[in-house]
Structure 1
Amino acid sequence: MFDMLADADTGATTAADVLASAVSERQAADAAEARLLERAAVWADLHPPESLHHAATFGVVVPGSEHEVPIAGHGCPLVAEFCIPELAAALAMSTTAGKRLIGHALELRHRLPRLWDAVHTGAVPAWRARRVAEATIHADLTPTGARYVDQMVTPYASRIGIAQLDRIIAEALHRYGTHTTATAQESEAPHDPRYVQIDPPVEPYGGTALLRGELDPADAHDLETALAAGAAALKDLGSQAPLDVRRAMALGDLARHQNSLDYDTDPDETEHARPARQVVLHVHLAAAVTGQGDIEFDRLATLETGQLQVLLDQVRSWCTTTHTTVTVQPVLDLATRIRSAGYQPSTFLRDQVIERDRTCVFPWCSRPARACQLDHIKPHDPDDPDAATESGNLACLCTFHHRLKTHGGWRYRMTAPGEYAWTSPHGHHYLRDHTGTREQPRP
């Protein structure tokens, strides 16, 4: 329910009132975000590495148990890792997002103190300060380099753009280097800046993925030559796509080792020298039987990797590409209880649990189930029917949340197929199902 701002005489809402209210709400939100950063830093203070309870086991660290993790730049305090999901879940965010929040708070307080003060005086919005903190953490700047960025950015942080921020960080890297570089110099080991990173698609319905990296000059030259040749070959084959699009298509062909680009090589030799790489995509299509008995597919499909929505036409184009093998899995009844005799689930049982859960079932986690481990909700006991390896006692948990459930004091139970009730160490309750996560009132 929102309060309507009305003119005292006419009863109509005025533009000036709306603007004034919007500014007031924005200021209140900025102040709340600044306080949230401070709470995140205090939460980290309450969970230092000294809070770990290894002493209870006479100094013996149990495999998979909690340990200390660095979540901000060099010089920031370490944090006991299992405290992160507790705060994240309470704030209705994923563990990864919670780790980023706490990391930004520590980075600002310990390595960017001018910016930290500017946030709490209201001079700089918290979201802008967090963007700077993310950049300095990612760049792995030395403490001196971070102080340089803090000094250069803070006076202009309320209006600085990403490009200008990148230039300041690049100058700091040039002047002071990175913590990794400093460590390498101490050990007389050279720092290698090469990397390749592929970000998952962020747009629905088949959005593109961002590729970035640094290469050896010779490798970059060879890649540029291959992309130019591939783009030209696609044009010769009749492609009307723009040059940039054809270059992107050529890069995909290189990744798959498509023989269609090897015009100067004998086809028989190419087939043996450069076998096609196998790429596995799990695509889910909804289908229905029409009144005439035909099968009609929905126009949208779900790609398991990234839970991306793709169009049926895209799936058709993938399936009709040369050398593509399509495997159709049998339909699984997700409501049927399947049981395996021993500790390890059968392939059929594993597939059923993966299809039912789709993702890690920890609150707000979205890691694909196919990359997760299968957890016995009740520890496996061959003499206890409720603790057997069967559909009602298995759930998908990613590696970290599996460790958290085993060693971190979190408890959960299955309330219905694919529906889980979680309880945190501090007594917060969450219900997780295929629609997402909801916080539940305390009993």
Structure 2
Amino acid sequence: MFETDLTELPTADLLASAAEQRAEANRREASLLEHALVYADRHHPDTCPPRPGRSSWQGRERAVVLGGDGCPEVAEFAAAEFGAVLGISAGAAANLIGQALALRHRLPFTLARVRSGDATPWRACRIATACLTLSEEAAALVDKQVAAVVDSVTPERLEKIVKAAKWRADPDAARAEAEQKARERGVYVGRSDEHGTKRVYIRAASGDVIRFDASIASIAEALKILGDTDTLPHRRAKAIGIIADPVYTEELLRQARAQLLNQTNPGPEPAPQAAPAPRPGPGPEARPGPDPGREPEPGRELQPEHGPEPEHGPEPAFGPELEPDDEADRDAPHPSHSDLPDPLDTPTGAPGEPGWPGQRVDPDAADPDAGEPLDAAAQRAFDARLAQIKRDAHATHGTHAAHGAAPASGAGRAAGGRMRPGQTEIYVHLTDHTLATGDGILRVEGLGPLLASQLAELVGHGPYVVKPVIDLNDAIGVDCYEIPDRVRERVKLIHPVEQFPYGTRETDRAMDLDHIRPYDPLGPPGQTGTENLAPLRRYAHRVKTFGRWKVRRLDRKTLEWTTPHGYRFHVTPTGTHPVTDPTPDP
């Protein structure tokens, strides 16, 4: 890779070499933008070669504008092949082409600095994306204001400068955007992280959020009463799983209240006795301490008037995941720009707002009486108690006289008035070693890898049913065009991710299952089966059907895709693998 052994370079020369490598990388990124521009020009609807049935109806290819107002149209399927040869998804390739077009047609001063080496290409592309919704005239005003500072300020400052320039260039659009943001409400769930946790972002009416927060706080307090010694934030997180089952929530709160009443009113109190007078201490600073033989007052806990100084120093930082500039899943569309809202548009916290994600919380101050986590035996006992509470809830719901008249029968109720808890189906993939030992790594669809020890947390305390394992080695099929659920489920398990080159979407019930060999009503039996179906998102399905791409199955788990210009890719369970072809089609 390097002609010179880097370990032999003096530090000054090493730094100079690193700077040159960065400059060379910037030149290559700028060259890639130029390639994207030429490629887009060759795929303008008026210049690209005709294709059969080039109309926008029934899923055929359309002309799209990728870079914003003022940019030329591009053939919709062009991004698929461009992305494949770059090793990125079609969506990422469309973004790259759109950014290049926006720089040329909407931000010429910024593009000029990129071409001269005075602006980093990725920063310029970020400006192009930020101005996507602006008119061509407003984008030109932003271009004049920010082109000179693309590389002279930090990315965070650049983002603020661009935002201010956008507002000055189009104040009406800025006000409309602010009003739209104020109107947006919803509950957004982010992707799972590497530790099996998710984030939920709620934007709703203030009163509803306050009541929801109070319910979460009540459940967290109930867990504490029942014996949970976790910190308050952890108990509040557990409350999210409990509140999803209203019947369980009601019973847990009821039993916690009953236990609290029993603790605060254990029986008749003994006759009061005169407390001994405190003996004088050794100095003026001495204060009477609590009597070790006296019971604390009901509902109160003894706190030393002068306890030891806290061992912690300044308020701890939660880490980069809570910083406003590090929005997880940043590539997700924002509510103002798409029908799919950004799942993690996490706001920063304001001082004095307890529990808000951006606030730096002192764990000791937030929950001073939180002890250490339960040991293994105590945790098993506590989990067993929660499981019993859940069983009690669904076994008795609707049968107590305190609940009033018997509830009407309907879906979700079992015989005798019992209500069945909501059911959730999860798919867990694990090895025989993990199954036998209970130790190792497993994969949960929709979540990703988890430790085997985290499976109990995922399943929860309620009853669960282990379904028979499906032998995926058995190929099944039907003769009709429609896909039955049992075939769809097997295809989903065999191919957990879409089978288009560099596809990113996980297979779910909403994804298209495409016949690799087109279905022939007069053809052989079993055409709709696990051997002839592949999960594809709708865009990839349309590209395969109308975009001159070719696909064939090499074996049970491998598809070979060929692009319109002859580039080949093998899609397997291990990902997408380019096939070396020295003579691609012209």
Give the TM-score, by structure 1 length: 0.80
Partner deviation per Cα, 1:64-105 (whole Å, 9 max, x = no partner): 100122323333233211001110001011112111211221
- Within-5 A mapping of 1:352-391: 352-370=490-508, 371-385=510-524, 388-391=527-530
Question: What displacement does 1:337 show?
Answer: 2.2
- What one-letter code is carried by the residue in structure 2 that aligns with 1:147? A
Q: In structure 2, which of residues 82, 92, 105 is the aligned counterpart of residue 110 of structure 1?
A: 105
2:429 paired residue number: 285
Choose 308-317 or 191-200, whichever is displaced more: 191-200
- Within-5 A mapping of 1:152-171: 152-171=145-164
2:368 paired residue number: none
Question: What displacement does 1:22 show?
Answer: 1.5
1:303 paired residue number: 444
Change (3 A) 1:179 1:327: farther
Change (3 A) 1:91 1:289: closer
Change (3 A) 1:201 1:345: closer
Would you say 1:76 and 2:216 are equivalent positions? no
CA distance in 1, matches of 2:46, 2:423: 45
Q: In structure 1, which of residues 308, 316, 327 is the aligned counterpart of residue 456 of structure 2?
A: 316
Change (3 A) 1:383 1:408: same
1:234 paired residue number: 220
Q: In structure 1, which of residues 403, 406, 420 is the aligned counterpart of residue 559 of structure 2?
A: 420
- What one-letter code is carried by the residue in structure 2 that aligns with 1:226? F
Partner deviation per Cα, 1:150-192 (whole Å, 9 max, x = no partner): 333322221434543443354345441476988x9xxxx9997
1:328 paired residue number: 466
1:432 paired residue number: 571
Structure having the larger proportion of residues in helix = 1
- What one-letter code is carried by the residue in structure 1 that aligns with 2:3? D
Q: Tell me, yes or no, if the aligned pair for 2:37 and 2:97 is still in contact at 8 Å.
A: yes
Question: What displacement does 1:414 show?
Answer: 0.9
Q: Tell me, yes or no, if the aligned pair for 1:413 and 1:421 is still in contact at 8 Å.
A: yes
Gaps of at least 5 residues in structure 1 are none
Percent identity, aligned pairs only?
A: 30
Partner deviation per Cα, 1:379-414 (whole Å, 9 max, x = no partner): 112544498223222211111111110001111111
SS of the residue corresponding to residue 441 of structure 2 reads: strand
Q: In structure 2, which of residues 221, 226, 249 is the aligned counterpart of residue 260 of structure 1?
A: 249
Q: Tell me, yes or no, if the aligned pair for 1:376 and 1:387 is still in contact at 8 Å.
A: no
Question: What displacement does 1:254 show?
Answer: 5.8
Q: Tell me, yes or no, if the aligned pair for 2:513 and 2:533 is still in contact at 8 Å.
A: yes
Question: What displacement does 1:197 show?
Answer: 7.2
Structure having the larger proportion of residues in strand = 1
Question: What displacement does 1:198 show?
Answer: 3.7
Change (3 A) 1:384 1:319: same
- What one-letter code is carried by the residue in structure 2 that aligns with 1:171? A
Choose 431-440 or 272-281, whichever is displaced more: 272-281
CA distance in 2, matches of 1:169, 1:246: 41
Change (3 A) 1:202 1:122: farther
Would you say 1:65 and 2:60 are equivalent positions? yes
Q: Tell me, yes or no, if the aligned pair for 1:227 and 1:250 is still in contact at 8 Å.
A: no
Partner deviation per Cα, 1:4-52 (whole Å, 9 max, x = no partner): 3369xxxx34323322222111111110001111211222222223357
SS of the residue corresponding to residue 553 of structure 2 reads: strand
Change (3 A) 1:31 1:170: closer
Q: Tell me, yes or no, if the aligned pair for 2:431 and 2:442 is still in contact at 8 Å.
A: no
Change (3 A) 1:152 1:243: farther
CA distance in 2, matches of 1:151, 1:246: 52
Change (3 A) 1:233 1:381: closer
Q: Tell me, yes or no, if the aligned pair for 1:392 and 1:417 is still in contact at 8 Å.
A: yes
Partner deviation per Cα, 1:288-324 (whole Å, 9 max, x = no partner): 269xxx833453222322x6222333321131245xx
CA distance in 1, matches of 2:126, 2:173: 20
SS of the residue corresponding to residue 191 of structure 2 reads: coil
Q: Tell me, yes or no, if the aligned pair for 1:142 and 1:177 is still in contact at 8 Å.
A: no
Q: Tell me, yes or no, if the aligned pair for 1:30 and 1:122 is still in contact at 8 Å.
A: yes
Q: In structure 2, which of residues 130, 139, 143 is the aligned counterpart of residue 150 of structure 1?
A: 143
CA distance in 2, matches of 1:424, 1:202: 33
Change (3 A) 1:28 1:395: same
Q: CA RMSD in A?
A: 3.9
Q: Tell me, yes or no, if the aligned pair for 1:205 and 1:308 is still in contact at 8 Å.
A: no
1:348 paired residue number: 486
Would you say 1:17 and 2:13 are equivalent positions? yes
SS of the residue corresponding to residue 355 of structure 1 reads: helix
Q: Tell me, yes or no, if the aligned pair for 1:142 and 1:178 is still in contact at 8 Å.
A: no
2:46 paired residue number: 50
2:4 paired residue number: 4
Change (3 A) 1:42 1:349: same
Would you say 1:32 and 2:28 are equivalent positions? yes
- What one-letter code is carried by the residue in structure 2 that aligns with 1:339? G
CA distance in 1, matches of 2:184, 2:518: 44
Change (3 A) 1:354 1:160: same
1:398 paired residue number: 537
Gaps of at least 5 residues in structure 2 are 255-396, 413-418
Question: What displacement does 1:54 show?
Answer: 8.0
SS of the residue corresponding to residue 392 of structure 1 reads: coil
Q: Tell me, yes or no, if the aligned pair for 1:256 and 1:276 is still in contact at 8 Å.
A: no
Give the TM-score, by structure 2 length: 0.62
Q: How many residues align?
A: 421
Question: What displacement does 1:331 show?
Answer: 2.1
SS of the residue corresponding to residue 576 of structure 2 reads: strand
Change (3 A) 1:178 1:378: farther
Question: What displacement does 1:55 show?
Answer: 8.8
CA distance in 1, matches of 2:200, 2:105: 32
CA distance in 2, matches of 1:330, 1:414: 29
Change (3 A) 1:259 1:116: farther
